Amino acid sequence: MISLISFILTISFLIFIHELGHLLAAKWAKVKVENFSIGFGPKLFSFNIGETEYSFSLLPLGGYVKMQGEDISEIKESGDIESVDPSRSYKNISNFKKQIILFAGPAMNLLLPFLFLPLVYMNGIEVPSFLNDKPIVGHVKKDADSSLFMKGDRIIEINGTYLMNWEDIRKARPANLGIEQTVSIERGGIIKNIIFKNQKPNKIYILDVVFPIQPPIVDQILTGSIADKIGLMKSDEIIRINTTPINSWYQISEELNYKNKYIFEITIKRNQEILKKEAIFKGKERMLGITPEIKSDFLNFGFSDSFIRGYHHSIKMIGLIFNGIVGLFSDLFSSESSLSELKNSLAGPISIAKYSGLAAEKGFNSIIQFVVVISINLGIINLLPIPLLDGGHIFFNTLESITRRKINPIVQNTINKIGFAILISLMLFAIYNDIVNF
């Protein structure tokens, strides 16, 4: 019941935010808005403010803003034609104003993280304890540049900036990424300078090469993941993968992806007992689906610091989710991707309801972060050039602006039907996937 209620509240709120963007933009453009609706189906209640009817319907899995002139085919009677003000009709406004109206919905969803994530920091968050530890290297990545570092090195400075802890190194990233970095380290009482020329196409930072001390001990296990299937448990210590001893958490991913292998023997230590598990991967990404056991401190942040941290957190989350969504749609048309990979990447309403319930049980911060993740997904997906979505309408308007010609309604209608079929197919596949993995 908690999952269902939290799901309905979350989806309804995010749809409201999305449609509110369209509404405000339409009002700005002086387009007559006839109806603002959250949900579909029978109306539960409605009321009028000025010329607009506001309603909430039974099925909260969508919403719409009905603008005058959006679909002129709906005007059938002469009385209707007389009630239409051409200057306030959506079809008669400039393409620029149409684009603003269309962008406004997804933009509201993408703006939400910048307003909500600061609340998480104000409420207080658990911060990994190692961020306050001295920056002593616990693991060195396998690449050419990392041969300059050794486990146990104490990082002192980056380009003249003194570093007290790992948090200082994290903060110094924006100022030093992409430029030559002179890194001073202490090794055996001797100070040594290491220089990153950074002339590679992909700019690197020291945190891409060296990592703090982090024992390879499992904390959380993702349901349905490889780790779950082979029986890994919380507090298991991974001590060997194939013949390679594992001393750091960061080695795990390296060993799974370093060579073109798909079968791995994973040796773990559980309650002083040594066990061996076999992990078999089919796709190109070899992930076990586990998180490390990390000691943490609970910290509260001030108003300005919360907004700064919330801003950077928002940018990072939008980037990660964007790459994930684009990767998912790319895989749909890739001959290398398998059905199992797509199934693991696609979640439907049942999964969303399940995880919204889990977030509600964990408290305020989890709820906020869950809402933010869904909002970002909603915003980005709606910007994709898929017919029927905002991105599809934006694409058509852009074509009309470039060609200065209206798109043939028959062609546009056919494309919309194809887009509708694709969206319904993806939704049915996601629901099926949810039921199978529930």
DSSP string for residues in 268-313: EEETTEEEEEEEE--SS-----EEE---EEEE---HHHHHHHHHHH
The owner of tokens 């999305």 is 18
| Count of all residues that appear for the chain in the document | 438
The pLDDT of residue 254 is above 80: yes
Does a structural domain hold residue 82?
no
In a domain, 405, yes or no: yes
Asked whether residue 116 falls in the same domain as residue 146, the answer is no
Give the strand order in the sheet containing 237-241.
244-245, 237-241, 263-270, 273-280
What is the DSSP code (8-state) at residue 157? Answer: E
The whole-number average pLDDT for the span 206-216 is 89
Mean pLDDT of 381-398: 87
Torsion region of 108: left, alpha or beta (phi above 0 gives left; psi -120 to 50 gives alpha): alpha
Of 141-150, 255-264, 376-385, minimum mean pLDDT range: 141-150
Most confident of 25-34, 172-181, 191-200: 25-34
Instruction: Decide if pLDDT at 352 tops 70.
Output: no
∠ CA 405-410-413 to the nearest 5 degrees?
A: 105
Same domain, 117 and 153: no
Domain-embedded: residue 145: yes
Query: For residue 320, is it within any domain?
Result: yes
Residue 262 has pLDDT above 50, yes or no: yes
pLDDT of residue 180: 86
143-156 residue pLDDT tens: 755 568 899 999 99
Average pLDDT over residues 316-325: 85
Q: Are strands 161-162 and 125-128 parallel, antiparallel or unpaired?
A: unpaired
Q: Judge whether residue 205 has pLDDT over 80.
A: yes
- Cβ atoms within 10 A of the Cβ of 392, count? 20
Assess if residue 385 is contained within a domain: yes
3-state secondary structure of 93: coil
Q: Percent of the chain beyond pLDDT 70?
A: 83
Q: Tell me the pLDDT of the chain averaged across its residues.
A: 83
Q: Are residues 200 and 231 in the same domain?
A: no
Same-domain check for residues 287 and 339: no
Same structural domain, 168 and 257: no
Whether 75 has a pLDDT exceeding 50, the answer reads: no
CA distance 245 to 189: 28
CATH number for the domain harbouring residue 250: 2.30.42.10
Enclosing domain of residue 368: 95-124+302-438
Residue 79 pLDDT > 50: no
- What is the band of 27 on the pLDDT scale with cuts at 50, 70, 90? very high
pLDDT category of residue 275 using cuts at 50, 70 and 90 = very high
> pLDDT: is 164 or 344 the higher one?
164
- Is the domain of 283 the same as that of 313? no
In a domain, 226, yes or no: yes
In whole angstroms, what is the distance from residue 359 CA to residue 368 CA?
A: 9
Helices (H) and strands (E) counted in the chain, each on its own, are: 13, 16
Structure tokens, 401? 């602006």
pLDDT band at 82 (very low <50, low <70, confident <90, very high): very low
Rounded average pLDDT over 223-248: 92
pLDDT digits (tens, 9 = 90+) for 94-140: 889 999 999 999 999 999 999 999 999 999 888 888 888 999 999 99
- Kindly state whether residue 67 falls inside one of the protein's structural domains: no
pLDDT of residue 76: 45
**For position 293, what pLDDT does the model report?**
92
Longest dimension (CA), the chain: 91
Three-state SS for 330? helix
Residue 260 and residue 323 share a domain: no
Lowest mean pLDDT among 183-197, 211-225, 244-258, 417-431: 417-431
At which of 292, 323, 344 does a domain end?
Answer: 292
Query: Under 8 Å CB-to-CB from 305, ≥6 apart: which residues?
Result: 121
Identify whether residues 436 and 318 lie together within a single domain: yes
Same domain, 238 and 361: no
Under 8 Å CB-to-CB from 114, ≥6 apart: which residues?
310, 311, 314
Spatial distance between the Cα atoms of 154 and 152, rounded to a whole number of angstroms: 6
Give exposure, 89-109, as e/b (b: 16+ Cβ within 10 Å): bbeebeeebbbbbbbbbbbbb
* pLDDT reported for residue 234: 93
CA distances from 339 to 64, 217, 345, 357 (A): 33, 31, 10, 28
What is the number of domains present in the chain?
3
Residues 330 and 362 in one domain: yes
Give the residue from 55, 112, 16, 22 showing the smallest Cα distance to 389: 22
Among 181, 211, 241, the domain-final residue is 211
- Whether 233 maps to a domain, the answer reads yes
Q: Which residues pair with 218 in a beta bridge?
A: 292
Same domain? For 382 and 254 the reply is no
CB 315 within 8 A of CB 117: no
| Residue where a domain terminates, one of 271, 292, 313 | 292
CA distance 197 to 6: 51
Which helix (H) or strand (E) segment holds residue 324: the answer is helix 303-332
The pLDDT of residue 183 is above 70: yes
Looking at 45-59, 197-211, 218-232, which range is the least confident one? 197-211
Distance CA(107)–CA(45), nearest Å, equals 28
Question: What is the model's pLDDT at position 177?
Answer: 79
Q: How confident is the model at residue 77 (pLDDT cuts 50, 70, 90)?
A: very low
Measured CA to CA, the distance from residue 301 to residue 299 in angstroms comes to 7
Q: Are residues 394 and 377 in the same domain?
A: yes
